[in-house]
Amino acid sequence: MIKTNWHTHTNRCGHAVGEDEEYVLAAIQGGLKTLGFSDHAAYEDPYPPERMDISEVPGYFASIRSLQEKYKDRIRICLGMEVEYYPEQWHVLSSYRRELDYLILGQHNVYYDRVSAYAINDGDTLHRYVDMLEAACERNLCDYIAHPDVALYGYQRLDGSVRECAARIADISLKYNMPLELNTGSGVHRGMHKYQDGMRYAYPTRIFFEEFARKHCPIIIGLDVHDPALFLDDTDLNRALSVIADLDCNILEDFDLVEAAKKRKALFR
């Protein structure tokens, strides 16, 4: 088990189980030293789905801050969110950026109210997804890119556009010194799927990490936890690591995302 996880959800998102304190206790039992909560950011309208309501945000902040104090002698707890870049919600995103310890970017829609990242299956839309990642990094909205290959969830063939987009994301990572995540969440938890060109996990995807390794991009392992029990089981972690086996990936084991966030927040606009 890794010692730091910045990608942790709560039951407020509607697709996670367990109470906030259960995540903390399981993380301690699993040997974590730093636990970052990063539930899906709430917006003013119900897009995209599967996230807390904006009325729940104060309670989320208060709960994690309280646990931060209660367990300060046993584990470091940090308060973040998993955001998307949506220009329509910039005022909400700006407030999260200023208030929270850190933000991770998990772009689940290509546009605020349409085109799920899970349904992309053409090169033009895949490149549009990468455009959104770049815009967020350019504006210092985030501190790492979560599951950069989530857009391959529904992509049926790993064609030339996939390699091009992987290379583009690698260049974005280097340009903005932006870590990329090896995600151990639902993309591997649900097992391999049959695609038109063979069996693979939905994500992470080796073709992306070949480009990331070739360009020596910084990589952070993110457990993407939606159930406290997963802090005590390395199955999904080992599956994700199998995807990048034999690649010379630049995995950051002791990276302090909160300290990195302080520098980015000073440049935020």
Write down the pLDDT at residue 82: 98
Write down the pLDDT at residue 46: 75
Domains and CATH numbers, the chain: 4-267 (3.20.20.140)
Q: Which residues of the chain have pLDDT under 70?
A: none
Write down the pLDDT at residue 268: 86
Write down the pLDDT at residue 47: 74
Write down the pLDDT at residue 1: 76
Write down the pLDDT at residue 165: 98
Write down the pLDDT at residue 45: 84
| Spatial distance between the Cα atoms of 171 and 60, rounded to a whole number of angstroms | 35
pLDDT per residue over 44-90, tens digit each? 987 778 899 999 999 999 999 999 999 999 999 999 999 999 999 99
Which residues lie below 8 Å from residue 144, measured CB to CB, with a gap of 6+?
6, 104, 105, 178, 179, 180, 181, 220, 222, 257
